[in-house]
């Protein structure tokens, strides 16, 4: 049996241990709950954990296994970003306006994992309505990076990424509207997969940008990400944007050679503004892929500089429409006033945070009479050019490689007063959402401060098999993904318990 503590095992290792009877689902759940209690006060990765519910589900999983049930995730505890609704468990989207909201149903992606035997371990922290790149915009306080508690974990799925990195969950779900799975995965040193638009149902996802949002897994390694995607993917009659196409066997491609595959290296992703250590680590990772038999092909993606302004016009316009439903009347927070209109104003004024208000105002302006054609319509036209730019690139190459983030994790508070600098954290990721493509971030090194660096591998729409194949091949010859932050070591855990027990 693996001598490491259970929280350091991957999902597929835990499944093997459960299948062999090395431990029970209840023992696994209890171990993780105790670890969360000891470590999470430093990180604030979780917004809520319900131990009694978790242990009851674990006991049920043990009974199912004893009866011969071999569901693919039976007994595995997973964390879920708090923008995915969960029946009977409060879902706030990191916002005061949804405080106390307990959904009557569960998001399809979560329901499919639960149907496969997974246990809902807890709901993780997020930038309010997934609007942010650092998880500092949560109404319930920021999450900290497990590698350095003075740094951000990225966002908006920072809670999920921090939980997986600190081994407070073997894997987690995030959502990706402009990089919100991949960027925090890179900053926390874990794997983050953004599926193609329509590959995973958005039913039950609290909408930010409806043409951009996708649910994706965050895991310790590529094999776990492929397993979770396999279970979540597929058509859903409750989501008209989900694709009615068959789902490939993603795990079947793991281990295939990448000999002869063409890896595109876009010149525009390696220019000014990128941290030198990030540049070197990503280039070294690409060289490693070349050593494995891939061919590196220099390419041009001239629309990169257009992607960020287009994204922040399209995303904020869609947010303006989507967030109109939070009026204090039907559900969530209500601040009573003398008139209905004043109730709307007071509820939204007190319930929404500063960043959400900023994006609603930007989007409303872009959609307003006299400005629609100049801003929103023009952004959609340029969005088409960006998609065509990538389609042309994929005629030359199989996968495109780039940094996930231009820098490693920045300090808490460093960019909160400068929205543009915060938005630039997503410059390498937003194009994937605008085009509907898929992409994965895998750890590829560390900077001099000991902070993780992420390699992004982008594929065409429905190209998940190829990016998983390449990412898995890379992880078979590197050890970056096996490294744990200090908070994941038994020594620091014991130190934290000792410190917390002092008077």
Query: How far is the CA of 308 from the CAs of 135, 184, 384, 420, 475, in angstroms?
Result: 19, 18, 14, 10, 30
Give the full edge-to-edge strand order of the sheet including 438-446.
Answer: 46-48, 119-124, 77-81, 171-176, 214-219, 191-194, 438-446, 452-459, 399-403, 262-266, 295-299
DSSP string across 329-377: SSSS-----SSHHHHHHHHHHHHS-HHHHHHHHHHHHHHSTTTTIIIII
The answer to whether the beta carbons of residues 136 and 117 sit under 8 Å apart is no
Pairing of strands 399-403, 262-266: parallel
In this structure, what token pair is assigned to residue 439?
Answer: 């992409």
DSSP string across 404-427: SSSSSPPBTTSSTT-HHHHHGGGT
SS3 sequence of 3-21? CCCHHHCCHHHHHHHHHHC
Whether 180 is catalytic is yes
Separation of CA 401 from chain center? 19
Buried b (16+ CB within 10 A) or exposed e, 199-232: bbbbbbbbbbbebbbbbbbbbbbbbbbbbbbbbb
Cis peptide bond prior to 81, omega within 30° of 0: no
Backbone angles phi, psi at 82, to 5 degrees: -80, 30
**Annotated catalytic residue: which of 133, 138, 180, 320?**
180
| Positive/negative CA dihedral, 80, 2, 57, 110 | positive
Whether 81 is catalytic is yes
The residues with which 439 forms a beta bridge, in sequence order, are 194, 458
Whether 378 is catalytic is no
In this structure, what token pair is assigned to residue 17?
Answer: 């241990």
**Annotated catalytic residue: which of 156, 157, 160, 196?**
156
Q: Give catalytic residues, as residue numbers.
A: 81, 156, 180
């Amino acid at each position: 049996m693996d001598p490491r503590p259970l929280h350091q095992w991957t999902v597929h290792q835990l499944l093997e241990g459960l299948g062999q009877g090395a431990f029970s689902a209840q023992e696994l759940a209890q171990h993780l709950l105790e670890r969360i209690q000891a470590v999470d006060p430093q990180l604030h990765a979780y917004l809520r954990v319900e131990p009694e519910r978790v242990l009851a589900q674990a006991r049920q999983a043990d009974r199912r296994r004893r009866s011969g049930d071999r569901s693919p995730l039976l007994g595995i505890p997973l964390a879920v970003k708090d923008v995915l609704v969960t029946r009977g468990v409060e879902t706030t989207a990191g916002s005061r306006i949804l405080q106390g909201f307990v959904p009557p149903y569960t998001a399809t992606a979560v329901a499919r994992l639960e149907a496969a035997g997974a246990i809902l371990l807890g709901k993780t922290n997020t930038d309010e309505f997934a609007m942010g790149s650092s998880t500092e915009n949560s109404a319930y306080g920021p999450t900290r990076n497990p590698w350095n508690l003075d740094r951000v974990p990225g966002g908006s799925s920072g809670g999920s990424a921090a939980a997986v990195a600190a081994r407070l969950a073997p894997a987690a779900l995030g959502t990706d509207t402009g990089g919100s799975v991949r960027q925090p995965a890179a900053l926390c040193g874990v794997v983050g997969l953004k599926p193609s638009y329509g590959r995973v149902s958005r039913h039950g996802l609290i909408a930010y940008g409806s043409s951009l949002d996708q649910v994706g897994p965050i895991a310790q390694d590529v094999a776990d990400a492929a397993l979770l995607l396999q279970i979540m993917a597929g058509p859903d009659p409750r989501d008209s944007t989900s694709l009615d196409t068959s789902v490939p066997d993603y795990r079947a491609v793991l281990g295939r050679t990448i000999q002869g595959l063409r890896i595109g290296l876009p010149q525009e992703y390696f220019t000014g503004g990128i941290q030198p250590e990030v540049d070197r680590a990503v280039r070294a990772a690409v060289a490693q892929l070349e050593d494995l038999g891939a061919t590196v092909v220099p390419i041009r993606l001239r629309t990169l500089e257009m992607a960020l302004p287009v994204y922040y016009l399209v995303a904020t316009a869609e947010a303006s429409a989507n967030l109109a439903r939070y009026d204090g009347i039907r559900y969530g927070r209500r601040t009573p006033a003398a008139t209905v209109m004043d109730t709307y104003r007071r509820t939204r004024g007190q319930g929404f945070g500063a960043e959400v208000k900023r994006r609603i105002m930007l989007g409303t302006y872009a959609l307003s009479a006299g400005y629609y054609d100049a801003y929103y319509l023009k952004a959609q036209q340029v969005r088409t050019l960006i998609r065509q730019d990538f389609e042309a690139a994929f005629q030359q190459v199989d996968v495109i490689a780039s940094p996930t983030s231009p820098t490693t994790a920045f300090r808490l508070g460093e960019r909160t007063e400068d929205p543009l600098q915060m938005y630039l954290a997503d410059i390498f990721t937003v194009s994937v959402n605008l085009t509907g493509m898929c992409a994965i971030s895998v750890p590829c090194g560390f900077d001099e401060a000991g902070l993780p660096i992420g390699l992004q591998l982008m594929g065409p729409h429905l190209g998940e098999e190829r990016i998983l194949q390449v990412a898995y091949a890379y992880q078979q010859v590197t050890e970056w993904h096996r490294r744990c932050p200090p908070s994941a070591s038994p020594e620091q855990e014991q130190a934290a318990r000792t410190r917390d027990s002092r008077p």
